[in-house]
């Protein structure tokens, strides 16, 4: 009788493990696979290149550096097939790069305005000097 109880206990444990394994495998198989964010990665790289070309390293070095670091993280996540994290980091890199581009454009516009103001100031001085002669 003792052998029968042990046998039933063993059968129950084996059945329980088999059911748990089946549930686990079903859950894993039904988990939706996130596609590789290759398009987002390309868009983010292009945004970083644009920011760099626009003068981001001069006018917005912090934002550009942040974008580059996040892009490096996204590429690392892609290599590890962690596509959700890769997409998130690539999107953040794109936003940082766009901010760097905007800051660079604003910085260049400010420089141009300052140059015009200085030119105007020099012109006024020259006009005053000529009228006083």
Per-residue model confidence as pLDDT tens digits over 59-71: 999 999 999 999 9
Angle at 117 between CA 114 and CA 118, to 5 degrees: 85
- For domain 36-131, give the CATH number: 1.20.1270.390
Residues 73, 118: Cα–Cα separation, whole Å? 44
Spell out the domain ranges in the chain: 1-31, 36-131
List pLDDT tens digits, range 43-56: 999 999 999 999 99
Confidence of residue 1 (pLDDT cuts 50, 70, 90): very low
List pLDDT tens digits, range 100-115: 999 999 999 988 888 8
Q: Could you tell me if 104 and 59 are in contact, meaning their C-beta atoms sit under 8 angstroms apart?
A: yes
């Amino acid at each position: 009788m003792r052998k029968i109880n042990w046998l039933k206990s063993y059968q129950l444990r084996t059945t329980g493990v088999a059911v748990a394994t089946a549930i686990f495998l079903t859950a894993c198989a039904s988990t939706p696979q996130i596609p590789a964010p290759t398009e987002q990665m390309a868009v983010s790289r292009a945004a970083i290149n644009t920011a760099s070309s626009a003068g981001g390293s001069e006018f917005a070095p912090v934002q550009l550096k942040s974008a580059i670091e996040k892009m490096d993280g996204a590429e690392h996540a892609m290599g590890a097939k962690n596509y959700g994290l890769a997409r998130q980091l690539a999107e953040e890199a794109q936003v940082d790069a766009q901010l760097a581009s905007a800051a660079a454009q604003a910085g260049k516009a400010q420089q141009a305005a300052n140059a015009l103001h200085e030119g105007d100031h020099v012109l006024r001085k020259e006009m005053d000097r000529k009228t006083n002669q």
